[in-house]
Amino acid sequence: MGTKLICSNKKARRNYDILETFEAGIALVGSEVKSLRAGKSSMNESYARIADGEIWLVHFHISPYTHANVFNHDPIRPRKLLLHKQEIRRLIGKITEKGLTLVPLRAYFKNGRAKVELALGKGKKIYDKREDLKRKAVKRDMEREFKDH
């Protein structure tokens, strides 16, 4: 079994310089898993936060499952991320020391289990974003020129 992409955070790479990535499991309830399998989720405004030595995924929207009736879940509840203790300690050290942020990049199923790719990122300034756009435009123009010749 391979991986199946659920959703991705398209703005993350535009707004952050990605330094390092981690794979974390997500603690979910049954109706959330069913809804994820149906592709009803969004992580546009989501981020990861550290509380009491644990890492929590905040604002990861998983739509309520239509067939779950009374036992449905809250769509934007904080969800616990599952990492090894030493990984959590290392992340806590890096975040408090350098002012970095934990940003979720994408959610996917790997061997039947829901996973999140977390990134350690540093926020980009406006001029950095502009330079990236210029660089992409120049690269695209060069590729177009080579393709024509």
Strand ordering across the sheet containing 101-110: 3-8, 101-110, 113-123, 16-26, 79-82, 54-58, 47-51
**Domains of the chain: residue spans and CATH:** 3-124 (2.40.280.10)
The answer to whether 60 and 46 have CB atoms below 8 angstroms apart is yes
Token output for 126: 């406006």
pLDDT tens digits along 8-58: 888 888 888 888 888 999 988 888 888 888 888 888 888 888 888 889 988
pLDDT tens digits along 84-136: 999 888 888 888 877 788 899 988 989 888 899 998 888 877 777 788 888 88
Q: What is the pTM of this model?
A: 0.75
